[in-house]
Each structure stands twice: as C-alpha cells, then as structure tokens.
Amino acid sequence: MSGNNTFKLDGKNIAFEDGDTIMDAALRAGEYIPHLCHNPEFTPHGSCRVCVVNANGRQVSACTQPAMENMEVDNSSDEIVNDRRALLQMLFVEGNHVCPGCEKSGACQLQAVAYYTNMLSPHFTHFFPQRSVDASHADIAIDFNRCILCELCVRASRDVDHKNVFAIDGRGINSHLVINSVSGKLGDSNFAATDKAAHVCPVGAILPKHTAYDKPIGERLYDKKPISIVGDVAAHEQDEER
C-alpha cells in the first residue's frame, strides 16, 4: 500500500488505502457523506443512492466507487445536495413515515439525513401504500410502512446470522421486504432478537417489543447532535459497547 494515495473531497486531500471506496476513505478521515444503506460491516450495496457524489464529472455512489489517485469528488455542491434531497423526498412518499408518532424518531437515519440536507417537505405526492405490521414474533415487530429497502437486514441475516430470514421480492415500485417462512410471518421463522439483523435497520421498520419509548424524544441520538457528527446508529452502538 502506498502511503501517498490521495483524492480531493470538496477540495480537501483525503488519504486512501488500496481497496478503499470513496466512502471508506472519507469516513476514516472524519468527512461525512450522507448515506442510508451503507454499513461498514457489510459489503457495499449502493441501493439507496443517497451517498451520490460527483467524481471527475460523473455521478457515482460513494459507497461503491473505488477511490483513485487525484480524483476530484464533489460532495456538497448545490447540484449534488438537490439530487440527494430529491432521493430522500421519494423515499418519504413511497412509504408511510409519520415521524412525530414513530418510536424511532430522534434515532432514525432517514429522518436525520433529511434534516442534514434541509429537506423540509416531501415535495412529491404521497403514495400512501397499504402495508401491514407483523407483530407475530414474541420479541420483534416489523412495520413494513417504514421499510426503505436498504437490504441491511437481508445482508445481516444472510452474511452474519446465516439464516436468510429476509429477502426483497418484486421489481421497481412493487419491490418489498418478505419473510422466508411458510406463512410469511416473522413469528414462524427462525429469527431471534439476538440476531444481527434485528439491530441494523436505519429506520423504524424492525423494532424490539416491550421497550417502546424507553428513551424520551428529545434525548435521543440525533436529538443531541446532527448525524454528520455522531455518524449512524450502528457505529454509535458499537462505540458504546467498547
């Protein structure tokens, strides 16, 4: 590995190692690139596209684009911020997100990134899809209204838990999260509250039962500091455990 590999992120020199993506190097340098589907514990996926940046004149996902010497990366121009905000607006209208009444409010990455990008309205017409809540499991509930198809639970269940409890079915606007059990219910699967997949959701789609609102709104992760300072929930929880 060369110790002199660098690229520019908004004019700042960012050192990178062989095999790094733009996201890897930026996070290591303490530079925040908004993201939802990215988690450093899993192989980059690039599904949410919120981490879109302009690299040498081409829009790419920072979590999948390899870092290259002398690359010029734009993470904060009006064009990039507007594109990112539009993606977030579409995520909000494609699901049913009622932040004031959501147990995840104040600790939700979708909400926090929306605030960070100054997304003050959904702009587009709401779809109001009819989605269910699966409360069949003894310890975990799934609210499909809030799922943003980041596939973090899919990857965690497959790659860490080795259970393949979750999958994405359908295409395009008809894509949706499904449970791999005969009934399609979480309670009939081999899912456990101790599974990694139970703790990676960036929104309020996968929630533990019996602990609702145990920490009051106003005292939660992103209520105190913006997501650009504290990072994502998973990273914060890992820091607390160390």
Please, what are the domains in the chain?
7-76 (3.10.20.740), 82-216 (3.30.70.20)
C-alpha span between 162 and 155 (Å, rounded)? 9
Output the pTM of the full model.
0.91
92: tokens are 């909000």
40 phi and psi angles, rounded to 5 deg? -60, -15
C-alpha distances out from residue 57 to 13, 19, 41, 71, 193, Å: 18, 22, 29, 10, 45
Question: CB of 116 within 8 A of CB of 149?
Answer: no
Q: How far apart are the first and last CA of the chain?
A: 29
C-alpha span between 138 and 202 (Å, rounded)? 21
Question: CB of 36 within 8 A of CB of 148?
Answer: yes
Range of weakest confidence among 6-20, 124-138, 159-173, 215-229: 215-229
Q: Report the amino acid identity of residue 147.
A: C
Mean pLDDT for the stretch of residues 32-48 = 93
Mean pLDDT for the stretch of residues 128-137 = 96
Question: CB of 147 within 8 A of CB of 168?
Answer: no
Q: Report the pLDDT value the prediction gives residue 3, as an integer from 0 to 100.
A: 57
Average pLDDT, the chain: 92
Q: What angle do CA 133, 169, 139 make, to 5 degrees?
A: 35
97: tokens are 């997100």
Task: Give the pairing type, strands 176-179 and 133-134.
Answer: unpaired
DSSP 155: H
Q: Report the amino acid identity of residue 29.
A: A
Q: Which residue has the tokens 């219910």?
A: 185
C-alpha span between 72 and 7 (Å, rounded)? 6
Residue 217 has pLDDT above 90, yes or no: no
Q: Report the pLDDT value the prediction gives residue 16, as an integer from 0 to 100.
A: 97
Dihedral (CA of 208, 211, 214, 216) sign = positive
122: tokens are 């959904």
